[in-house]
Every structure is written in C-alpha cells, then in structure tokens.
Structure 1
Amino acid sequence: MPLSRVLLSIFLALVSITPLPADETARPAKVRVVKDRSGWVLKVNDKPFYIKGIACNEGLLDGVDYLKLVAAAGANTVRIYGDAAPEYLDLARQHGLMVNVGFWTNAIRLHSKESYRNPLHTLELKKKILAYVRWLKDHPAVLAWTLGNETFIFSDAEEERRAYGRFLEDIVKAVHQEDPNHPVIYASSYTRCLPYLKKFVPSIDIIGVNVTGGAGPAISWAERNDFDRPVIVTEFAPLGSWETRQDANQMPYDPFDQFKADTYLSSWRQMQANPRSCIGGFAFVMGGFRNQDSLTWYNMNYGELRRAGYWMVRELYTGRKPENRPPKIVDFFVDPKSGLKPGSWTSVRVRVSDPESDPLTYDYFLTNIAKDPLIVEKAAFFPGGVRSSEPGAAEVQVPQEQGTYRIYVGIKDGKGNIAIADRTVRVD
C-alpha cells in the first residue's frame, strides 16, 4: 500500500535526530547474491539463505502480533512495503525474522501531479529514499531493500515509464554507495515490468516478480531473455479478482479458501523447480484487513485466526502438517442475490465440513466492495440483523442504501481456525 504522506513527513523530520536503539551485540547483516556452479545463491554473513517469506505490513495492530503469526508459519523473512520503522524491525528480530524493507514509489497516473520527468520531484524523492536507507541500514534485521512495486506498468504514459527507469537506475547506484551490505530489489507485476528493468536498470541486484496463480514463467523470464539476475517471487498469491469469472451481479467470483491454499502450493512447486535462478519468495499476505474487491480475498489470516492458506504455507515452509485443520466450506448460497429492496432480508445457507468434527460457530456480516482491486480501501461494515434458523442457515438484512455488497460467512472451529466465504448481493 502507498506510503502515508503524513507518516513520511514525520519520519523525515525525525530521521536526523532519532538513532536506532543501541545494541552492542547487534551488527548489520552482510547480504550478497553470488553465482556459483549451482546457480544463484543469496548469502547472509556468508551462509546460504533461501527466503521463506510472507508479506505483512503490520507488526502489532489492534492487540495482534502479526509477526508472531508470520514466524509461527515457518517463515524466515517478512516483506514490508513501506513505512518501516525500528520498532517493526525490532519485533521481527525478536521473532527470528529478517526483513525485506520496502520504499513505495508511486506510479504516475494521468491525474497525478507528480512526474519522474520533473527533476525537482526526483531529487526530493532521492533524498527521502537515501534518508530512509541511512536510518535503517544498520539494523541487524534488514535483509534487502525493495525500491518500487509494479511502478512501471501502472504508470500510464510510456514517457513516465522510461523516466522512472532512469530514476530507478540512479537511485539503485546511490543506495549501493550508501549501503553496500544489502542488495536492492524491484518488484514487477508478473513479467510486465521486466523489459524496462533490463533496459534501464542494469545495476539492480535481484529481480522481483509478483504472481497470482502460478510463478513458473515469471521466474524463467530472466534466463529466457538473457538478463542474468537472481529472482525472488516478491508475492505469490491466489488468483486475482481480474482473473476469476463474474458472478450474477457482474462482480468477481471469490474462490473458496481451499482453492486459494492450493495456489500457494502450485507456486511453491514452481519455485522449487527453478533452483538455479529462484532464491525464494513471499506468500501474500498476512496482517490487517485488506478490502481489495473482497475483505478476505487474499489474507491467510483473519485477525489471530488462521485460514487454510496459512496452514498450507506453514506445511510448505516446515514440512509439518497442521495439528488441527480449519473447516472446509463446500458451498455458500445466497437467495435472492439481486432485486432486493433496501432493508429487506435474504436467505443464506452454507455447506461445510470439519476434518476433526469440531463444533462450529457461524458469523455473518456485510461490507462494501472496493472500487479498484489494485487499491486497498478501508472496509465499510453495514450493521444489519441476522436471524439464524439452524447451523449454516440464516436470514441476513441488507443495507438501506442501493448498491452491490458482499455478504460473508465466517466459520470458526474454536481451535484458532476459520473458514470464510462471500457472495454478492444487489440492493435495487
């Protein structure tokens, strides 16, 4: 998610006077990528280090220690997209995690007032990035820097993409000079940014690729296109909302948890099948609510509760199967789905099984639908009545305002697990 301008302004005001906490036993890690006869290898203090990562922007939030959950899933690294601070790094280190520290660089849309063709903008941004690096580079949890996330492809004008490439090459060189101990990554949307990276940013250390559904072709792009760099799958995630079919209300169909869990498995296998070039990856995503088309499209967690994707990633990273598996939703029906009057009621029914036959509890709620799946919006929850007739069956009251909403069922097993499904309803 984009860096908060307010937080960034506060950070820049404090960075020159706020030192990292003193720790005489801590030293910054020396991280480098080397190529030997087996292929590319990431080394931390001269020891091979394969990234088993999870993307998670939040450390402590609303009483939940998300980095504790990340570590419990068997991860050794966490990716944060921006607004990193020593407190986040301290918490990561406490849980035995390295941190891929991000700095968000905005894509230039047609309505944007910024431009990478404006030397005043690029000079100011360069100062901010170098101050950020200078502030955090000596923290022992820092593994690498990710400068930019899908910026090339979501900049509308070709001139801006080229200008961004020239800026990125300049800033990568400057970061190398400021901090020779940590490599620099750029995160591409699948392979779409990589031609620009190859042409304009030869100093980049590691290619990052964000993928949904499968990682294989993205990982092999560099080798097929004579761009000799190691690859990190900076996001491997379930299918995006733009890749699934439309439902009866012409909204993206949100797959069930088990289908999403299986996509983590597919991507991981493809990463393992490319050991010469791939040096690890980050499962996407854990942390607070992310309203991207649906509130629960991506998260492997729901607060402290764990979904099927969480357990799949833990098994991939540790080889250990879950001690208790989450419920499995077989189907979720809503009737009627459309033509509802404001404040009226719709019937919902869910078919579910639990591997351990744990007693289950059911929660139902409604939210708005995010307007842009690429932008994380704050969810609006709509209070409404729920009339339960039996486990897995209820009537739910829809909002008073016209519009299309998502209605959710969350099924808990009392053992720290949850299964979630949603369907859309339209109020006319």
Structure 2
Amino acid sequence: MFRKRLAVVLCFAFPFIVVAQDVKSGAAIKVAVKKEGAGYQLMRDGKPYYIKGAGGTGYMSRIAAYGGNSVRTWDTKNGKQILDSAQKYGLTVLMGLPVAAERHGFNYDDPAAVKKQFEKVRAEVLKFKDHPALLAWGIGNELNLSYKNLKVWDAVNEIAEMIHKEDPNHPASTVLAGINKKEVDYIKANAKAVDILSINTYAGLTELPQQIAKLGWEGPYMVTEWGPTGHWEGLETSWKAPIEESSSEKAAVYKRKYLYGIANDKDKCLGSYVFLWGQKQERTPTWYGVFTEKGEESEVVDVMQFLWSGHYPANKAPHIYAFQLDGQMALNSVHLKAGGSYEAVVDAIDPDNDQLTYRFEMLPEATKVGEGGDYEERPAAVSAGLKPLENGKVQLTAPAGKGAYRLFVYVTDGHNNVGTANIPFYVN
C-alpha cells in the first residue's frame, strides 16, 4: 500500500498543502530490493526508498502534504487515473493485481481457470508497467483467508515469474492476512519468485518483527494494512457486538503500533500502508476510515502526519475523553427499555481551544456484514429519537423495536477536524 515525495507547495482552504509535479509518461523508474548485511533496502531510481504509505487512493494531496509518499490499491480499476494522480502529487503506487480468493469461489484445482486468470493479470501488468509512479505489484489480497488449497501459491509464483520477465523494473509481492508457519514454509519452498512478503495485521502488529523471525521468514517484507484494533479481536458486549475505540483511543493505538511494529524493524521492514485513507462501512461507518464521509480528519490523521513528517499539524483534531449513555460506558453492555428516555454525554476538548459542535446519530447494528473487508451496506439511520441538549449532551428515546443499536457522536472544531465515538446498546 504505499510511497512518494513533495515539490511545489500551494495553500488551500483546508489546513493541508497540495503538491504538484510534472507527469512524464512512459518512463519506468527502476525499483529493486537490495540486500544490505542482515537486512534489506528498497531502492528507487538508485536511491533508498522507505515506504510511508496509505491504503486508499482518496485525498492524495493530503498524503503528500502530511509527509507520506505512497498509496496502495487492491486492484487495477482506474489504474491509469490513479497512477497519473499519484505522479502529480509526488507519490508512488503499490498496484494490486486482481487475483481471486478461494473464499470467493475460485478453484485453484481448475487449470483452465488458473490460466485464464494468469492471462488477465499479465494484460494488466503490460498495461501499467512503464508508468513512472508505479512502485511494485501486489499479487492478490489475503489469499490465505479462509482457504485450504495451497496451490494458490503456485499460481502466485507463476504470476511473479511473469512479472520478472515482462517488467524487470518493479518487484512482485503477495499480501497475506496475518502470517503463520504454513504460508511461510510453502512460499519459501514453492513461491521463490515473490520478492517481498506483504502482511495485513492489526492487534498483532506490535509483535510482528519477533513473529516473523520466529516463523523463519528471512526476506524483506512490508505491512500493507494496519490500523485500529480489529472488530474481530477486541472487546464485545454481552450480545456479542464489537466495541469500537474512539478516534482518540485509535490515535494512541496507531502511534504505538507504528513505533513498535513497523519502525522498530529497520533491517527487513521496507515500510507500511496505513488503513484506511478514506471512509467505508465495515461493522460501523467509523471503524477503519481515518476520515468521515464528509472528509473530516480524525486524530489518527494528526498522528500519521507526526509519524511521517516528525511534526503535528498546526490545528489538531478534537480529543474525546469519554462517551456515556445512561451513565454507562460501552463496556457496561448498555440495555435500554423500548420507548424509554435516556441522556448521553460526551467529554471532549479541543487542543486549540476551537469552539466544538456535536452531532449525534443512531443506527441499527449492522447485520449483513462481510469478511476480510468485503462490501457492507451502511445501515439506515433511525430518523427519530434524538433531541440535542446543551453542548455534548443528547436525549435519546430508545426505539420501539427490540434489538441492537449504536449511538454515534461526531465532535467537530470548524477546521475540518473531528472526534468520533459510539456506544452499542440493546433495546429490550
């Protein structure tokens, strides 16, 4: 997911900088992995290149302005447009190649299907291989998630060998969901054409360097997806609803994970792509995106600017200390009576003493959920039942329908910054 640099600086209404760079099409820039002692160094155009990247292709100007240098895609859709935009802002692209997962119904025991997929991927490689913004290829995404057939790695190796032949200027990688010994052993023995191992990980990131060493991976790697505590690995309510961290809790989590799990391995880790540089519905509308649907920036964006550039923005996002419903926190597994009236209050400050505004939203708990980041539809908001009180407080009338819901709060500062939090609750 990531990489690139800055040039001409222009100021806009948003508190960020737009960076422009001349686009020179058809001039591939050589990228290679160099062995250095016990470790590895990614080289681009003959110079060391450390990936400070973001997963997602929105808000590219902000990535560049905040010190990032690369973006990651999951496929080649709109590939030319993405590469051109990245080049404009001095960024590189880890381009995802559309390799199907077994969990989506692909049969790696079917030679005809494997061959057809290979030719499709080859055509995409030939289409984009000479673009100067291209950094590397990502063969598939989380092909080891809920799978059984190890032949998928044979197909990955065949694609990596094709990349070496058709595009000697860019390394080949494949993206794993976590890392375990089965994949490491098989890839080391049977997919030797893979140049870089890419890993998506969340709670396990702080221990990743030690885990990689323990499992015997001796080559270079990059972290292609990391972020908050995942919805499958954190705390939950008594009715099994995952409890989401507030944006301020996430900011602390992101910083700790980066320092201990990414920056701490200077020998083999080539860099990372933070997830998600954008917004999406995945269990909630706020869990993984570092922006809101309106493009407002959370405290996580402040932290990423610090990690990428060494300094925080001049104007920081609101900080949320606590959010309670009926005097209870999410950990209390809040139960409400249908039609009952309850008060919710958020305790927040603004580091710059900006005046804060609060907006609240009530959603049913998402039930049609995906796996591994698959598409989910955002639940429709409950249209009634919220009455704003003084700043930071709202009166909630519990819905008549029995079931699981969430109350969300968005705290904004008037400078496109936001703090977010939510509380799951169950209506009896």
In 2, the alpha carbon distance for the partners of 1:172 and 1:191 equals 20
1:69-148, aligned counterparts within 5 Å? 69-82=62-75, 83-109=77-103, 113-148=105-140
Task: Indicate conservation of the 8 Å contact 2:184/2:216, yes or no.
Answer: no
Where does the alignment leave 5 or more consecutive residues of structure 1 unmatched? 1-21, 60-65
Deviation of 1:197 (Å): 2.4
Task: Indicate conservation of the 8 Å contact 2:231/2:242, yes or no.
Answer: yes
Q: Deviations over 1:272-309 (max 9, x none)?
A: 2211111111111111x322222111111123211111
Deviation of 1:222 (Å): 4.5
Q: Is the counterpart of residue 365 in structure 1 residue 357 in structure 2?
A: no
Code of the aligned partner of 1:145: W
In 2, the alpha carbon distance for the partners of 1:138 and 1:355 equals 46
1:152-163, aligned counterparts within 5 Å? 152-155=144-147, 158=148, 160=149, 162-163=150-151
In 2, the alpha carbon distance for the partners of 1:398 and 1:80 equals 41
1:13-28, aligned counterparts within 5 Å? 27-28=27-28
Where does the alignment leave 5 or more consecutive residues of structure 2 unmatched? 1-21, 329-333
In 2, the alpha carbon distance for the partners of 1:148 and 1:402 equals 41
Task: Indicate conservation of the 8 Å contact 1:237/1:284, yes or no.
Answer: yes
1:223-238, aligned counterparts within 5 Å? 223-238=213-228
Deviation of 1:207 (Å): 1.0
Partner of 1:414: 414
In 1, the alpha carbon distance for the partners of 2:398 and 2:286 equals 19
Find the residue that maps to 1:301 and give its secondary structure. coil
> TM-score, normalised on structure 1?
0.85
Code of the aligned partner of 2:27: R
Task: Indicate conservation of the 8 Å contact 2:25/2:132, yes or no.
Answer: no
> TM-score, normalised on structure 2?
0.85
Deviation of 1:378 (Å): 2.1
Task: Indicate conservation of the 8 Å contact 2:52/2:272, yes or no.
Answer: yes
Q: Deviations over 1:43-101 (max 9, x none)?
A: 11111100011111x44xxxxxx212222221100111112421111111111110000
Distance 1:406 1:47, change over 3 A: same
In 1, the alpha carbon distance for the partners of 2:100 and 2:426 equals 34
In 2, the alpha carbon distance for the partners of 1:23 and 1:363 equals 42
Distance 1:202 1:247, change over 3 A: same
Paired residues in the alignment total 392
Q: Is the counterpart of residue 209 in structure 1 residue 199 in structure 2?
A: yes
Partner of 1:49: 49
Deviation of 1:182 (Å): 0.6
Distance 1:355 1:55, change over 3 A: same
CA RMSD of aligned residues (A): 2.3
In 1, the alpha carbon distance for the partners of 2:192 and 2:118 equals 18
- Aligned-pair identity in percent equals 27
Q: Deviations over 1:227-279 (max 9, x none)?
A: 33111111221111122111244211111222211222222223222111111
Find the residue that maps to 2:145 and give its secondary structure. helix
Q: Is the counterpart of residue 328 in structure 1 residue 319 in structure 2?
A: yes
Task: Indicate conservation of the 8 Å contact 2:109/2:151, yes or no.
Answer: yes
Deviation of 1:119 (Å): 1.0
Deviation of 1:364 (Å): 1.0
Which of 230, 237, 250 is matched with 1:240 structurally? 230
Distance 1:308 1:221, change over 3 A: same
Deviation of 1:373 (Å): 5.4
Task: Indicate conservation of the 8 Å contact 1:404/1:425, yes or no.
Answer: yes
In 2, the alpha carbon distance for the partners of 1:84 and 1:220 equals 37
Q: Deviations over 1:183-233 (max 9, x none)?
A: 011112221343442233111000111121353532344444443311111
Task: Indicate conservation of the 8 Å contact 1:211/1:235, yes or no.
Answer: yes
